[in-house]
Amino acid sequence: MGVDKGTAKDQAARAGAELVEDGMIVGLGSGSTSALMVDCLGDRVRSLGLKITAVATSEATARQARELGIPLVELDQVQNLDISLDGADEIDGRFAMIKGLGGALLREKIVAAASRLRVTLITAAKQVEKLGAACPLPVEVSRFGLAHTERRLQGLGAVTKIRRSAEALVITDGGNCIIDCKFAEIADPAGLDQTIQGLPGVLETGLFVGLCDVLIIGEADGVRQIEADRAGRRSTD
Q: Which residues are catalytic?
A: 108
Please give the radius of gyration of the chain, using alpha carbons only, rounded to the nearest integer. Answer: 17
| Residue closer to ligand 5RP (CB basis): 43 or 173 | 173
Ordered alpha helix ranges (H), the chain? 8-18, 32-48, 59-67, 105-113, 146-155, 189-197
Of 85-93, 128-136, 176-184, 222-230, the segment contacting ligand 5RP by CB under 6 A is: 85-93
Cβ proximity to ligand 5RP: between 73 and 125 the closer is 125
* Minimum CB distance to ligand 5RP, residue 171 (Å): 14
Size of the site for ligand 5RP (CB under 6 A): 18
Does position 87 interact with ligand 5RP (CB under 6 A)? The reply is yes
Contact track, ligand 5RP, 13-52, x by CB under 6 A: ----------------xxxxxx------------------
Which H helix or E strand runs over 180?
Answer: strand 177-182
CA distance linking residue 102 with residue 122, whole number of Å = 14
C-alpha 12: how far from chain center:
14
| List 12, 56, 83, 104, residue binding ligand 5RP (CB under 6 A) | 104
Binding residue for ligand 5RP, selected from 27, 102, 201, 232, defined by CB under 6 A: 102
CB of 57 to ligand 5RP, least distance (A): 8
Which of 15, 41, 91, 99 contacts ligand 5RP by CB under 6 A?
99
Strand pairing partners for 37?
A: none
Asked if 100 interacts with ligand 5RP (CB under 6 A), we say yes
DSSP, collapsed to helix, strand or coil, labels residue 175 as: coil
Specify the residue, 57 or 149, whose C-beta has the smaller distance to ligand 5RP. Answer: 57
| Dist. CA 235–CA 195, nearest whole Å | 29
Q: How far is the CB of 23 from ligand 5RP (least distance, A)?
A: 26
Count other C-beta atoms under 10 Å from residue 16's C-beta. 29
Q: Using an 8 Å Cβ cutoff, are 149 and 181 in contact?
A: no
CA distance 9 to 87: 10
205 binds ligand 5RP, rule: CB under 6 A: no
Beta bridge partners of 228: 234
> Closest distance between ligand 5RP and the C-beta of residue 122, in Å?
8
Closest Cα partner for 206 from 119, 108, 115?
A: 108
Q: Say how far apart CA 170 and CA 173 lie, in whole Å.
A: 10
Q: Which residues bind ligand 5RP (CB under 6 A)?
A: 29-34, 86-89, 99-105, 108
